[in-house]
Chains A and B, each alone.
Chain A
Amino acid sequence: MNPFVFSQARDVDAALPLLSADGARPVAGGTNLLDLMKEGVMTPSQLVDINPLEHAGLDVIEEHEGGLRLGALARNATTAYHDLVRSRYPLLSAAILAGASPQLRNMATNGGNLLQRTRCVYFYDIGTPCNKREPGTGCPAKNGINRQLAILGTSEKCIATHPSDMCVALRALDATVHVKSNQGERAIPFAGFHRLPGDTPEIDTNLQPGELITHITLPDADRFAEHSAYVKVRDRLSYAFALVSVAAALDLDGGTIRAARIALGGVAHKPWRVEAAEAALVGKTAGDAAFEAAADRILEGARGYGQNAFKLTLAKNAIVQALTTAMRGTEFAKRGTE
């Protein structure tokens, strides 16, 4: 790890000036940042430990304006097992528990989960070119090791995926990210939080320098609570990043779809959601025909890069499976069997 100056912030107002310094980064769980520092991928000159902000209320999970407010410093495990999350947002609970390991979920925070970097092997290996790590050096992934990488929203510069499971559910649930800086506070709709790589793959999110995530809010989603499923396909049964994951939620009137939510992980630089495909499901009979049509719509424009071309078929099947599982009900999804 590179040498750096360490400081701790006791409250948000003390943290913000520290975070506005050049080369300063906040550290909370540390599970991704410290790993990237060990690899030399990230080399901050200052780390500001924001864990003490737990005592300033940044770890609170509570009902808020009919929905939910998740403190940025609440741990992933605490969030997934929280009674309000389990009962009202089972999709979020399932997505979080599909990610990482129990130890990592005990450490990782909700804010930090949003700021995870891609696990593309070229990004992690400082001996190779990577436009995300060193802009302008090139992208060996396009014609290289790309089994894990993106099939949607890619650019000539980058085909990285965002690795989070939690964020896939947050996208499906229309979350909002709340941030604070020396300039004040602002709210970022989840759709606009993460970016596509375009010509600037080095920029993962629209978080600005000096901004600190304070909390995430979720609107009421009770109508989806009975019919939610998170399906994650990976190379081993547990503790692996998604090849494809799907967060699906349905609001059903008998067999007819009143509303649908579908977001994908493991396929793009951000959680992938096509709201037109959801709108087209409204009024349709829940079942294979409607679900396959939705999958085709969501995957319009998808392309493979060799090793990851199997994801085109896998993603379609995973969407149909997730919607079918959601249709059969959240309790079925939890059991995983009849």
Chain B
Amino acid sequence: MDLYKQYPIRLRINEQDRDFEVESWVTLLDLLRERAGLTGTKKGCDHGQCGACTVLVDGKRVNACLTLAVMQNGHDVTTIEGMAKGEALHPLQQAFIDQDAFQCGYCTPGQICSAAGLIAEGQAKTVDDVRELMSGNLCRCGAYPQIRQAVCKVMGIEEGKAGAASGADGFTTGPVLA
């Protein structure tokens, strides 16, 4: 039993096939940053609590720190580096700039990949939905209102309506819902 075996894998990363040989324990996050040279994806907590490592696998947002590279053999990965098309920014990237949706920027790649996943999922209809469904991405600078505004702007969700969060990300009471 060779515990230190190298596993040959092929991933399609940002529309390019890439081949690697990795040990079993290498996470997708470490593969992207250390082996693929794609350091846009950030390591925050490395425990699935902060969302800084969010990427899209086969179009779905996941925490790259909590999956193994060998488990993603044959899969399609999109990172922040794959969001823009040439010189044209992704609408979410432009909206984050327009809304001033970051300060230090460390969480931003994860926020934008997460928002792209949120839009593809099609479950968010209101400002409150967006807030709840972006809750897997922490921003320790506290740019949440601007992040929410940026995502809502791209989705065409109007802020300030009844039932919509009005300003500070605050507190709702009542049951937790589907």
Contact = CB atoms under 8 A, between A and B. Distances in A.
Interface stretch (B58-66, B81-89, B92-100, B151-159): B58-66
Interface stretch (A63-71, A100-108, A140-148, A185-193): A100-108
B121 A337 contact: no
A174 interface: no
A119 to B, nearest CB: 11
Interface stretch (A156-164, A176-184, A224-232): A224-232
A231 B175 contact: yes
B1 A97 contact: no
Contacts of A31: 48, 63, 66
Contacts of B47: 35, 38
Contact of A80 (B66, B137, B178): B178
Given A102-B61, A333-B177, A3 B23 contact: yes
A3 B4 contact: yes
Instruction: Determine which residue in B48, B63, B136, B137 has the highest number of CB atoms from chain A within 10 A of its CB, and name it.
Output: B48
Contacts of B133: 102
A292 interface: no
Task: Report the interface size class on chain A.
Answer: 35 or more
B68 A6 contact: yes
A49 B47 CA distance: 20
Interface string A312-338: 000000000110010000000111110
A102 B67 CA distance: 15
Instruction: Determine which residue in B3, B46, B66, B117 has the highest number of CB atoms from chain A within 10 A of its CB, and name it.
Output: B66
A1 B25 contact: yes
A86 interface: yes
Contacts of A5: 1-3, 5, 24
Contacts of B171: 237
Contacts of B178: 80, 86, 90, 93-94, 97, 230, 334
A314 to B, nearest CB: 15
Given A4-B24, A5-B3, A34-B68, A337 B117 contact: no
A101 B51 contact: yes
Contacts of A34: 27, 66-68
- The B contact surface, by secondary structure, is loop
B24 A6 contact: yes
Contact of A104 (B136, B174, B176): B136
A71 B24 CA distance: 27
B135 interface: yes
Nearest to A3: B3
A94 B48 contact: no
A35 B117 contact: no
B33 to A, nearest CB: 16
B117 A3 contact: no
Contacts of B118: 102
Contacts of B70: 6, 49
B114 interface: yes
Interface of B: 1-5, 7, 23-25, 27, 46-48, 51, 54, 60-63, 66-68, 70-71, 114, 117-118, 121, 123, 131-137, 171-178
Of all A-B residue pairs in the complex, the 6 with the closest CB atoms, nearest first, are A101-B136, A336-B174, A238-B135, A3-B3, A6-B24, A1-B25
Given A103-B54, A106-B62, A232-B175, 15 more contacts: A3-B4, A4-B3, A5-B5, A5-B24, A30-B67, A35-B47, A93-B178, A98-B176, A100-B136, A102-B134, A231-B175, A322-B175, A325-B174, A333-B175, A336-B172
